Amino acid sequence: MTKATFIKYGDPEALRAEVDGLAALKTLLKQHEIPISTPDVLALEGDALTLGHIKQTQADPNQWHAFGQALAQMHLIEQPLCGWQDDNWIGLNLQKNVLCDDWGLFFVEHRLQTQIDWIKDPQQRSLFQQQLNKVRSRLIDWLNAHCRHFSLLHGDLWAGNVMFDSDQAFLIDPAVYWGDAETDLAMTELFGGFSKAFYQGYQSLNPLSPVYPLKRTIYNLYHQLNHYNLFGGGYLNNCLSGMSALRNIS
């Protein structure tokens, strides 16, 4: 019987980065026997990526709880550096990466600053730049003080990038890098969020930090800016709120 497949078309370099991200996740998950899967990569030819088909089902609370615990296990595995060795993609935008040991610097320079640099409206870009400049050093120190260790991150962990079959969860479409685990958790709360059972399962093994509510806003500012750059003004108010929240770090 021929194995069912799914073919995804896109920019060849973006697809190659996706394959590399899936391989990084698969290797770590398999090495530590963590019950999350990734789709099988069957072929990459030019602008076509052939993946193994996932027989998708609707997850029940027990599956969401188990997935939360499994993701916590993944995040608890400490990595020596933050960032990533290659650039990859976050949606349709390039995600700039370097390897370093300074999480705050990495996030400010290669996440927030990069997105601000790409804003087309010069007046809005200047406003955001001024706001970031006022807190840059303080924000870098604050993020470092509240990052327990570096973890492998999915990097684009919204509900559309998690699938379930009858046995387990699958992570798809990653934008991997190493960093603060709560970056992944923050993004799960965008665009509707995950099941309550997921968060219960996750926090049973890896409780969130006391400053997570503010970190969530700051980490999601990256994605809000990315969506603003991709899709325009509908995301501007969210970006403005996120930039204003930077004043609350202490």
Q: So which residues are the catalytic ones?
A: 156
The span from the CA of 187 to the CA of 7, in Å, is 26
Residue that has been written with the tokens 């990569």 in this structure: 41
Task: Provide the H-helix boundaries in the chain.
Answer: 12-31, 61-75, 103-107, 113-117, 122-145, 181-188, 196-205, 212-231, 236-245
231: amino acid identity, one letter: F
The span from the CA of 128 to the CA of 139, in Å, is 15
Burial of 184 (0-12, 13-18, 19+ CB in 10 A): buried
C-alpha 178 chain-centroid distance: 10
The backbone torsions φ and ψ at residue 77, rounded to the nearest 5 degrees and listed phi first, read: -80, 115
Asked if 197 and 89 touch (Cβ cutoff 8 Å), the reply is: no
User: What residues form DSSP beta bridges with 99?
Assistant: 83
Alpha-carbon separation of residue 163 from 57, 64, 172 (angstroms): 8, 10, 8
